[in-house]
Amino acid sequence: MRVRMDGGGRAARLEAGAEFTLLAPGVPRPRVVTVREVRAETSIVDPVAWQPTDKDTKTAHPVTPSALAFPAARVTVTGSADDVRLVKEAVAASSLLTTSGQDPASAVRGLALFVDTDGGWARVSGGAGHPITRLPLRTAADARHVADCCAHIAHWHQLHDLTHPDSSLSSMVRVSVEPLVGGFKPRSTGDIVCSYTPDGGEPQVQVQIHNQSGNRLWCVLLNLTDSYASSVHLFDGDFVGPGRAGTARRGEPVWLRLPPGREMVSGAATRDVLKVVVAENPLDTEPFRPPPCAAFDKGAARHGRAIRQ
74-87: pLDDT as tens digits? 999 999 999 999 99
CB contact at 8 A, 270 and 232? no
pLDDT for position 301: 35
pLDDT cut 70: percent of the chain above it:
80
Cα 274 versus chain centre, distance: 10
For the entire predicted model, the pTM comes to 0.76
Distance CA 107, CA 95 (A): 16
In the three-class reduction of DSSP (H, G, I as helix; E, B as strand; rest coil), residue 217 is classed as: strand
Using CB atoms within 10 A of its CB, is residue 188 exposed (0-12), middle (13-18) or buried (19+)?
A: exposed
Angle, helices 81-91 vs 140-160, to 10°: value is 50
Distance CA 151, CA 162 (A): 16
Position 88: which residue type?
K
Mean pLDDT for all residues in the chain = 82
Q: Along the 309 residues of the chain, how does pLDDT read in single tens digits?
A: 445 555 443 333 456 667 777 776 666 677 888 878 777 666 778 888 888 888 877 777 777 666 666 788 999 999 999 999 999 999 999 888 998 754 444 444 679 999 999 999 999 999 998 888 899 999 999 999 999 999 999 999 989 988 766 667 778 999 999 999 999 999 998 899 999 999 989 999 999 999 999 999 999 999 999 999 999 999 999 999 999 999 999 999 999 998 887 888 888 899 999 999 988 888 888 888 887 676 664 433 333 334 444
Distance CA 227, CA 148 (A): 15
Q: Which of 249, 219, 252 is nearest to 234 (CA)?
A: 249
Phi, psi of 292, deg, nearest 5:
-70, 155
Distance CA 208, CA 284 (A): 21
Task: Write the Ramachandran bin of 8: left for phi over 0, alpha for psi from -120 to 50, otherwise beta.
Answer: left
Distance CA 188, CA 303 (A): 23
Using CB atoms within 10 A of its CB, is residue 13 exposed (0-12), middle (13-18) or buried (19+)?
A: middle
